[in-house]
Structure 1
Amino acid sequence: MSWIRRHQRKEEPSAKRLPDLEFLALVKTGLEEIAPGVTQGAQLKGNSLISPQGWAVAVAPPHHGGGHHYDLVALPDVSLQPDVPCFMDCVVSMSADPQDAANTWVQTAGACLLELLDRRAHFADHTDPDDERGVPGWHMITSGAAGLGSDVDENRRLQRALLEANVLRQVADSFTADLESPFFNGVKVFYGGRPGAMQAEIRVNGERHEAASAAMTALGLPDPTTFTAVRFYALLLPVPAGGSEPSYPSTPLDLASASVQASAHTHGAACACGGHLDPEHPGFDLALPHLVAELSEAERRRRVKSDTGAIIIAEGVGNFLKVRLPIRLDDGRTVVYLAWVYLKAAVIDDFVQRVRDDNLVGHRFEGLLCNAIGPWGEDVLRSPVVLGGQRINEDGSVHHSEVLESSDPLLSKVLTETWPAAFVLGDRFPHSPSD
């Protein structure tokens, strides 16, 4: 579990509580920021954000708190009728800005919703019952800790303290007997207030749990020097007898438009992208951008927020798109590297929007090469590239963008000259003796 940096405010906040659908529009935007494509086709109706994939988020009538308080209900699989499994959370904006409240939900309970459906540790952590941070008898999905105070240093200090306290493991005996859902149980952990007047609270399935809150208070978490609040959210899923995997919702999580995802298909011999590794169509599919590959496994799970196979979004690292880099050989063949390029956030957002609008053909954009390539190795790493060459395949998928040119002298030479096959391929993809 990690700590989460507080979002910067983009504009002056509203002074009043937003109508349900306006608040859910902020939630929708927040979900899209951390999981591009996840809200595609989702509609705002009544008091709900409803995805065509089968999940929904609704605003419940407020039953406690003030005018800037929002009670949200997450429904991971609305097909389970008539009693749809759900988990609840309540958020309040410390600044009176509804955007802050929406961000808080997205970063904590919302991250758990995404992870419950995706299950690849992209959005939240998974902890088994016998792990040192686990809750005995339960599989746990845990968000990072969000800091809600105005002092960044104090936020981080309390975030670290909350994580290091291993709260749910330490107080497990006080609340696990009250976890009643056979699907998943939502648990919110909150610690906040002024120096000398801090409140520790644990809510289980939307209700304050007195015994667990008292047990958390007894942990003796430190006081801040100014008003500060931190929180995280967890889903606890019962582990079946025998220790097998818990039962997850069947709802799919569409992390990008279908056309973007399809660009990560399995390539056949006739595929022009070079993904099929045979002597006539030599190619190399590079699994990860250099910057992501350098991360430890644990750090990669924490930072990678979205990985569709064609697009990787890694928090604090960058946004990456898989592209074709063709190199002409002196025997008439072309070797294709499926490599990664770094794109600025605005550039990758524009790319995804163009895919959705069917407006990608002919588009040219710029990035930085994020892989070492063949015999040139790291000499071409981080070289600026111009990309384009997209086309729509017959099945509606998007052909990989192609590296068209580079202002880097060496990479420009790699792209424009013809190279000896033995130099580029060695003995990995030789022609057959009959050729």
Structure 2
Amino acid sequence: MRSRWRRNADGDGLAALPEQAVLAIVAEQLSEMSGRPFELENGRVKGPGSTAVVLAKRPDHAGGDGHLDLDFVLNVDRPQDTTITDCVAGYGESPEAKVRQAVEMWAGTTVSAVLELLAQNGRFAAHLAPDDPDGLPGWHAIHGGVIGWGTGERYEAASQWLGDHAVLPDLAPALTGEPFERDHLIGVKVFFGSTDGTDTAEVRVNGRVHPAASQALRDIAWPRTAGSTYARTFILLVHGPEAH
């Protein structure tokens, strides 16, 4: 299958830095990636126009060391309808290194899809039409980049597979339920991999674990290797059948 959204990064997610320090790293990464200014403002990262990024505090998803909840808000005047929710973890030898890698992973997957929504020029991510065989039937989707990490000779096996394999059709039968009550701007995070035969597979829809889709992901024959291999991507479902 053609690889239309492949984007890999090396690495292993995250320790506690002061919130302002984390936001400063987010602003730096987004400014460099987009070529437009993202700046600290009133406890958030203010982007061009009505956009902003905030560090979310979700008591039901505290995570642990090496974990961030990040919300990309497309319109700060309508956050309920325009917030793209995600979480990410990074790895490194220092708190700053962990934060930087987490933000890089988030930027390479989630932010790539969001920036493409704003740019609409194919620079940041791939568009999948509602009838595209690689997409989700009935939905216009923007497929963000692929990030991979792990250990051993085949640490890139999961990300290489994800870069070459359309995962949305495999998940489509399971992608139903409460998170799809919103008919636009639905974020789907796909994260999977294995370490010496122990599998991890997680699909989050609008920031919440989707059990059926996670099980469908676990059932796919993606590569399991000696050592560890993990991959992550993010797909933004822009609008559903009601909008066509």
Shorter-chain TM-score tier: 0.7 to 0.9
Q: 1:189 to 1:119 in 2, by over 3 A?
A: same
Aligned pairs (5 A) from 1:155-194: 155-178=155-178, 179-194=180-195
In structure 2, how many angstroms separate the alpha carbons of the residues matched to 1:155 and 1:110? 24
Q: Which amino acid aligns with 2:88?
A: V
* Residue 20 of structure 1: how far off its partner (Å): 2.0
Q: Could you tell me whether the CA contact under 8 Å between 1:88 and 1:206 is conserved in 2? A: yes
In structure 2, how many angstroms separate the alpha carbons of the residues matched to 1:210 and 1:8? 27
Residue 9 of structure 2: aligned partner: 6
Residue 86 of structure 2: aligned partner: 89
Task: Count the aligned residue pairs.
Answer: 234
In structure 2, how many angstroms separate the alpha carbons of the residues matched to 1:131 and 1:18? 42
Deviations 1:334-357, CA, capped at 9 Å, x for gaps: xxxxxxxxxxxxxxxxxxxxxxxx
In structure 2, how many angstroms separate the alpha carbons of the residues matched to 1:168 and 1:20? 35
The SS at the match of 1:159 is helix
The SS at the match of 1:109 is helix
* Residue 177 of structure 1: how far off its partner (Å): 4.2
Deviations 1:290-328, CA, capped at 9 Å, x for gaps: xxxxxxxxxxxxxxxxxxxxxxxxxxxxxxxxxxxxxxx
Residue 53 of structure 2: aligned partner: 57
Q: Could you tell me whether the CA contact under 8 Å between 1:21 and 1:44 is conserved in 2? A: no
Deviations 1:67-97, CA, capped at 9 Å, x for gaps: 211000110122336x352121111113352
Check if 1:111 corresponds to 2:123: no
Deviations 1:181-231, CA, capped at 9 Å, x for gaps: 233101000012302101111111101111001111111211122122210
Q: Could you tell me whether the CA contact under 8 Å between 2:50 and 2:76 is conserved in 1? A: yes
Q: 1:3 to 1:52 in 2, by over 3 A?
A: closer
Aligned pairs (5 A) from 1:34-433: 34-36=33-35, 38-39=36-37, 42-46=39-43, 48-62=44-58, 63-80=61-78, 83-95=80-92, 97-150=98-151, 154-178=154-178, 179-239=180-240, 241=242, 243=244
The SS at the match of 2:221 is coil
Residue 28 of structure 1: aligned partner: 27
In structure 1, how many angstroms separate the alpha carbons of the residues matched to 2:181 and 2:72? 17
The SS at the match of 2:64 is coil
* Residue 114 of structure 1: how far off its partner (Å): 0.8
Q: Could you tell me whether the CA contact under 8 Å between 1:189 and 1:203 is conserved in 2? A: yes
In structure 1, how many angstroms separate the alpha carbons of the residues matched to 2:113 and 2:243? 25
Q: 1:242 to 1:191 in 2, by over 3 A?
A: closer
Name segments (4+ residues, structure 1) moved above 3 Å.
239-243
* Residue 180 of structure 1: how far off its partner (Å): 2.1
In structure 2, how many angstroms separate the alpha carbons of the residues matched to 1:155 and 1:220? 16
In structure 1, how many angstroms separate the alpha carbons of the residues matched to 2:123 and 2:23? 23
Q: Could you tell me whether the CA contact under 8 Å between 2:135 and 2:141 is conserved in 1? A: yes
In structure 1, how many angstroms separate the alpha carbons of the residues matched to 2:10 and 2:222? 25
Q: 1:136 to 1:160 in 2, by over 3 A?
A: same
Unpaired segments ≥5 residues, structure 1: 244-435
Q: Which amino acid aligns with 1:133?
A: D
In structure 1, how many angstroms separate the alpha carbons of the residues matched to 2:77 and 2:215? 38
Q: 1:75 to 1:115 in 2, by over 3 A?
A: same
Q: 1:92 to 1:205 in 2, by over 3 A?
A: same
Larger RCO, structures 1/2 (Cα 8 Å, 6+ apart): 2
Unpaired segments ≥5 residues, structure 2: none
The SS at the match of 2:105 is helix
Q: Which amino acid aligns with 1:227?
A: S
TM-score by length of 2: 0.86
Q: Which amino acid aligns with 1:158?
A: A
The SS at the match of 2:154 is helix
Structure with the larger helix share: 2
Moved more, 194-203 or 175-184: 175-184
